[in-house]
Amino acid sequence: MGNLFKIAVRNLFRYKRRTLLTVSLIAIGVIFVLGYVSIAGSFKNMMIGQITDSMIGHLQVHRKGYVASIENLPLNMNLKSPAFKKLEGILNQQPEIEAYSPRIKFGGMFSTFVETTNIRLNGVYPEKEIKTIPLLPSRIAEGDKTLKKGEILIPELLARGMKVKIGDMIVIVATNQDGSVNGKQFKVAGILESATGPGGRDGYVHIEDAMEVLRMEEFEISEVAIRLKEFGQVEAFTRKLDHLLSGEVNKQGKPVFEVHSWQQLSPFYNIARMIDMMTIFIQLMLIAVVLISIMNVMIMAVYERIREIGTIAAIGTLPTKIRSMFILEGLCLGVIGAMIGNIVGAVIIFILNVSGWVTFDFGRQKGLVLSPTLDPMNMLVISAIVIIVSVAASLQPALKASRMEPIKALRHV
């Protein structure tokens, strides 16, 4: 095999310019795919990070049926205290969980005493919420990075529209479960940057203030947001938790809880899937580039070397060895192209990463800096695709060479 390999490499050097062009084409294809995969992948990861770490968390638990009516923020679908205690007991036993945060979600009227508008609010324990969605403090553009009782964090669009500043007093008026209305005065402690996705324009109050506004006599919550230690475990843990909670049923024998991962809660998941689909299409294009270029080169190589094939066949080279010789040539082209592509691609991505040149706007978020990173698995997969396709592209010309009648090949002019 080593000698066949040596001959294959020598044959590639026979037509240096053609080999260089083919290798360059493959390398450029690999560079583009690596670039696309790393930039698109970084964009995807960044957006998923933004969504999960600044609003949703990795997964959420609600009372069964809550998510179907989540737009209405139905207070009558809250989890009551005994249910939450059961849930808390289960969550505390899960080693995969890093933090979780119970929330009361409600809608209300936001009044500056001069003007009034609508607002959606989350009543939270600030320390638990920050552990669960660690990007929350970074969204506080103005004011303290904390939230105390009697204070409110409001979204920047609302602050701008209502001309509210830090330290202003406002009133939140909300309709309670029994239909009565209650109000409470809050001090504006911070202004939140908007974030793309569900809950990205919600305000925050302390959970005890939320209970007071909503005149809740007992502790109850709308949802529990959960953060896992490993993001990659989301799907598996969602299934596990769903299974664990499926045993909790109400008096009618129906499940009490429902578990949703961020994918099920955020429309961005569809964009993430589109990015994955586009990655597959880009890889298909790479396959086409490698297939066509190597097949073209190998067909030409066979055509140009017909007499040579006749000679080696005449002196006793078995058809299988002739086939291997040409397949090895294609393999070498693929391996060299993939290697150069990976090296150059990695350097380019490193430069992009260090320079911070790749910026983009997403929704109201301006100038987000992408940090493209290369996943070694991506490099391996792309290299494997190139190498496998190179061998596949060489098969037909190699078979043609091995099936040549030596006598006809020797007569070829």
Partner 1 sequence: MSLIVAENVSKDYQVVATRVSKEYQTGEIVVRALRDVSFEIQPASFVSFVGPSGSGKTTLLNLIGCLDKPTEGKLTVVGTDVLKLDRHESARFRGEHLGFIFQDFNLIPVLTVFENIEYPLIIVKNTPAAERKKRVMAVLEAVGMADQKDKYPDQISGGQKQRVAVARALVSDPKLILADEPTANLDSKTAYTIINLMKKMRDELKSTFIFSTHDQRIVGEAEIIYSLSDGELVDKQVKGGKQNG
Q: Does 314 bind partner 1 (CB under 8 A)?
A: yes
Of all residues in the chain, what percent are helix, strand and coil, respectively (each to 5)? 55, 20, 25
- Contact flags string 320-359 toward partner 1, x per CB under 8 A: -x--------------------------------------
Q: Does 311 bind partner 1 (CB under 8 A)?
A: yes
Which amino acid is present at 290?
V
Residues that contact partner 1, how many (by CB under 8 A): 23
Q: Does 412 bind partner 1 (CB under 8 A)?
A: no
Of 153 and 336, the one with the shorter C-beta distance to partner 1 is 336
Candidates 136, 154, 207, 313; binder of partner 1 (CB under 8 A) is: 313
Stretch that binds partner 1, among 5-13, 242-250, 255-263, 380-388 (CB under 8 A): 5-13
Q: What's the min distance (Å) between Cβ of 21 and partner 1?
A: 19
Of 333 and 358, the one with the shorter C-beta distance to partner 1 is 333
Bridge-based pairing of strands 59-63 and 223-228 is antiparallel
Contacts with partner 1 in 11-50 (CB under 8 A)?
11, 13-14
DSSP, collapsed to helix, strand or coil, labels residue 148 as coil
Q: What's the min distance (Å) between Cβ of 9 and partner 1?
A: 9
Q: Does 392 bind partner 1 (CB under 8 A)?
A: no
Q: What's the min distance (Å) between Cβ of 311 and partner 1?
A: 4
Assess contact for 85 and 220: CB atoms under 8 A.
Answer: no
Q: Does 5 bind partner 1 (CB under 8 A)?
A: no
Tokens 């960044």 locate to 46
CB atoms within 10 A of CB 353: 18
Tokens 């302390």 locate to 206
Q: What's the min distance (Å) between Cβ of 4 and partner 1?
A: 7
Stretch that binds partner 1, among 77-85, 151-159, 272-280, 405-413 (CB under 8 A): 405-413
Stretch that binds partner 1, among 4-12, 137-145, 353-361, 369-377 (CB under 8 A): 4-12
Q: Does 316 bind partner 1 (CB under 8 A)?
A: yes
Stretch that binds partner 1, among 67-75, 181-189, 305-313, 338-346 (CB under 8 A): 305-313
- Cα–Cα distance measured from residue 167 to residue 354, given in angstroms and rounded to the nearest whole number: 40
Of 86 and 321, the one with the shorter C-beta distance to partner 1 is 321
Geometric angle at alpha carbon 170, from 164 and 174, rounded to 5°: 125
The contacts of residue 296 (CB under 8 Å, 6+ apart) are: none
Q: Does 318 bind partner 1 (CB under 8 A)?
A: yes
Geometric angle at alpha carbon 265, from 263 and 267, rounded to 5°: 75
The contacts of residue 340 (CB under 8 Å, 6+ apart) are: 23, 24, 27, 30
Tokens (6 digits) for 329: 């040539």
- Cα–Cα distance measured from residue 400 to residue 294, given in angstroms and rounded to the nearest whole number: 15
| Cα end-to-end span (Å), the chain | 30
Q: Does 3 bind partner 1 (CB under 8 A)?
A: yes
Candidates 312, 379, 387, 398; binder of partner 1 (CB under 8 A) is: 312
DSSP, collapsed to helix, strand or coil, labels residue 142 as strand
Candidates 208, 319, 365, 400; binder of partner 1 (CB under 8 A) is: 319
Q: Does 4 bind partner 1 (CB under 8 A)?
A: yes
Q: Does 1 bind partner 1 (CB under 8 A)?
A: no
What Rg do the C-alpha atoms of the chain give, in angstroms?
A: 31
Integer angstrom CA distances of residue 132 from 53, 59, 78, 160: 7, 10, 20, 28
Tokens (6 digits) for 382: 């792309």
Interface ranges with partner 1 (CB under 8 A): 3-4, 7, 10-11, 13-14, 307-308, 310-319, 321, 406-407, 410
